[in-house]
């Protein structure tokens, strides 16, 4: 598989969706075939699992169920969408992928990282982002940004500051441990400056793969 797989990671409100859209436009202008996906979701089955995961009425969901549902959604997306796209040499831009489960469920929930790693291999096989960008913001900034949307927080967004502090710390630790495939950027800076930094890394990755 010689396509390009990039994920943007971070706690809620860090600006991932905005940067994915900007990057999609940029790469399409360069003549690349770009597939933009979000997680959980990205295909019909996975979108239905997303609804289960995020609906606040499912507040009694236990962590084990949550973990398995995230990987179930990802397994479907990987086999139905990502693997075929990589075989066609497409560029895949993911608004989150598997690192989010290590951060949210592993560090945020305190679940067994080895079990999560086993589920990663079972669900995704060898398919994993070539590079990931962590858009880092404080939990305080996250809450401020979410408040401005006027939307009702979903089940995951309602977990509380302590949970998100652990999740943010987990992301930073994951990026440190996997520095060869992670770029950490300040998510609070101007969106165009942030996009330029992302593009510079992407250009280098494309050149290395050429």
Q: Which whole number is the average pLDDT over 195-200?
A: 98
Q: Which whole number is the average pLDDT over 46-67?
A: 98
What is the total residue count of the chain? 210
Residue 117 has a CB neighbour count (10 Å cut-off) of 13
Buried b (16+ CB within 10 A) or exposed e, 87-99: eeebbbbbbbbbb
**pLDDT surpasses 50 at 1:** no
**pLDDT surpasses 80 at 210:** no
Domain extents in the chain: 4-209
Q: Which whole number is the average pLDDT over 7-33?
A: 96
What is residue 39's predicted lDDT score, i.e. its pLDDT? 97
Q: In whole angstroms, what is the distance from residue 153 CA to residue 134 CA?
A: 22
Nearest to 96 by CA among 210, 200, 14, 4: 14
Second-level CATH architecture of 4-209: 3-Layer(aba) Sandwich (3.40)
**pLDDT surpasses 90 at 17:** yes
pLDDT in tens, 106-150: 999 999 999 999 999 999 999 999 999 999 999 999 999 999 999
What is residue 64's predicted lDDT score, i.e. its pLDDT? 98
Could you tell me where the DSSP H helices lie in 11-96?
16-29, 44-54, 63-77, 83-87
Residue 174 makes CB contacts below 8 A (sequence gap 6+) with 99, 102, 103, 182
Mean pLDDT of the chain: 96
**pLDDT surpasses 90 at 209:** no
What is residue 16's predicted lDDT score, i.e. its pLDDT? 96
Chain centre distance of CA 200: 20
Share of the chain above pLDDT 90, in %: 96
pLDDT in tens, 61-94: 999 999 999 999 999 999 999 999 999 999 999 9
For residue 123, which phi and psi values (nearest 5 degrees)?
-85, -35
């Amino acid at each position: 598989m010689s396509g390009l797989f990039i994920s943007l990671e971070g706690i809620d409100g860090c600006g991932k969706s905005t940067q994915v859209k900007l990057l999609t436009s940029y790469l399409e202008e360069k003549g690349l075939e770009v597939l933009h996906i979000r997680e959980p979701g990205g295909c019909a089955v996975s979108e239905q699992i997303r609804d289960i995961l995020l609906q606040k009425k499912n507040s009694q969901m236990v962590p084990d169920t949550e973990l398995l549902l995230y990987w179930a959604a990802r397994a479907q997306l990987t086999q139905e969408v990502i693997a075929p796209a990589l075989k066609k040499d497409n560029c895949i831009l993911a608004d989150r992928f598997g690192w989010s489960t290590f951060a949210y469920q592993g560090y945020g929930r305190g679940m067994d990282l080895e079990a999560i790693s086993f589920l990663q291999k079972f669900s995704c096989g060898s398919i994993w982002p070539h590079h990931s960008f962590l858009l880092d913001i404080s939990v305080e900034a996250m809450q401020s940004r979410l408040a401005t949307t006027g939307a009702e927080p979903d089940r995951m967004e309602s977990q509380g500051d302590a949970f998100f502090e652990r999740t943010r710390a987990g992301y930073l630790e994951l990026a440190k441990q996997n520095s060869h495939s992670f770029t950490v950027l300040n998510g609070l800076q101007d969106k165009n400056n942030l996009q330029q930094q992302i593009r510079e890394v992407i250009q280098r990755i494309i050149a290395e793969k050429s």
